Amino acid sequence: MRPCPARTIRNSPCPAMGAVSCINPIAVLAEMTISLAVYLVLGAVITGVLCFPPCLIVQNILAASPLDNIPGPKSTSIIKGNMGQLLQRFAWNFIGELGSRYQKIVKITGFFRVGGFSSITSFIGLIVVKDVDFYGLPEWNLEYGVFINPPDDNLTHSKAETCYHVAHKMRDALVVEVGHGPTTVDILNWLSRTALELVGRGVLGCSLDLLDKSGRNEYGDALKAFIPILFENSQIQYFLKYVKHIGTPAFRAAAIDWLPFPQLRRLKEIVIKMDAEARKLYYEKKHNLQLEDATPRVEQDDGNDIFTSLLHANLVASDGDHLMDDELIGQVSLLVLAGTDTTSNALV
């Protein structure tokens, strides 16, 4: 009877002993060591996560500071502090109370009793009036301003024509909708779609909404839902700085689906939609510029839009000032989101 070879792993049948299993003690010891190390690491992480908030609360209660004498509203929660009042959807009454009761500076209790301080008027006066020369625009901003804002006297006139054209399209769509008799019209939806089309023409130089009765625009719906769902996640954002560097972006995106926060999953879906549409718009615009192809996505403007000017400026920029594709795609989402939100409010 020959002994089992040393390389035999745990519970593997020994060739010399038929059906009898043999165990390699070295493999068992290595497996136990790895398991113990994994459990110790997980235990340390869980202990740190569970002990961090209580330790932070005790530290802020016991550690005295002269800043504790700054007046401020009473904390309503030992965990949220005043953040529940400040970050809720209808927080304007609380914000107005801060401005009327505390004139210069106010102490706001943050999560886990971490104090935050907000100056109501002092720093704004310094920036706007007294020290305005210290907050000027950098040289690179002035340089790119020449490309983005070309001195063209006909530019305002051409954009006015674009606005009139979009307004007439919305008018025609409303006439068709009410042409069959009395009906309920969601005017806010039409104004939001009109704002999306105006921003598409003025910012991106292409049509984003046909303004017909073909149905709702998914990109427009995502843009409208972004700000409200962002405020719903405002309290969760406080903890992002502690976990935003854990793992890869794909790992963090997958981890969101396992967290008990449905509003966070909804925000992820909206961001994915916005990013996909921004990438599509960017690569089509870049392809048309490189090939000097005038074929439109739906309808094409005269090239005086903001994003075309930005792409032209980026093509002639030096290596140090050149923006990467991901940065330009981020500019698409930024310009469209900011423009749509403000234009919708102006139309209403």
- Give me the pLDDT at residue 133, please: 58
The secondary structure element, H or E, covering residue 109 is strand 105-109
Alpha-helical (H) ranges within the chain are 25-62, 83-86, 92-101, 122-125, 139-148, 154-178, 187-199, 218-232, 240-243, 249-256, 262-291, 306-315, 325-347
**Is pLDDT at 199 greater than 60 in this prediction?**
yes
Pairing outcome for strands 115-119 and 12-13: unpaired
* Fold category of 139-347 in CATH: Cytochrome p450 (1.10.630)
pTM: 0.62
User: Which percentage of the chain shows pLDDT scores above 90?
Assistant: 3
Cβ-contact 300, 206 below 8 angstroms: yes
Provide the pLDDT for residue 269. 92
Instruction: Write the CB contacts of 41 (distance below 8 Å, at least 6 apart in sequence).
Output: none
pLDDT score at 297: 47
- Quick: pLDDT tens for 89-109: 778 888 788 777 876 777 777
Average pLDDT over every residue of 206-227: 78
Ordered by start, the domain boundaries in the chain are 12-62, 66-130, 139-347
Whether 78 has a pLDDT exceeding 60, the answer reads: yes
- What mean pLDDT is predicted for residues 63-80? 73
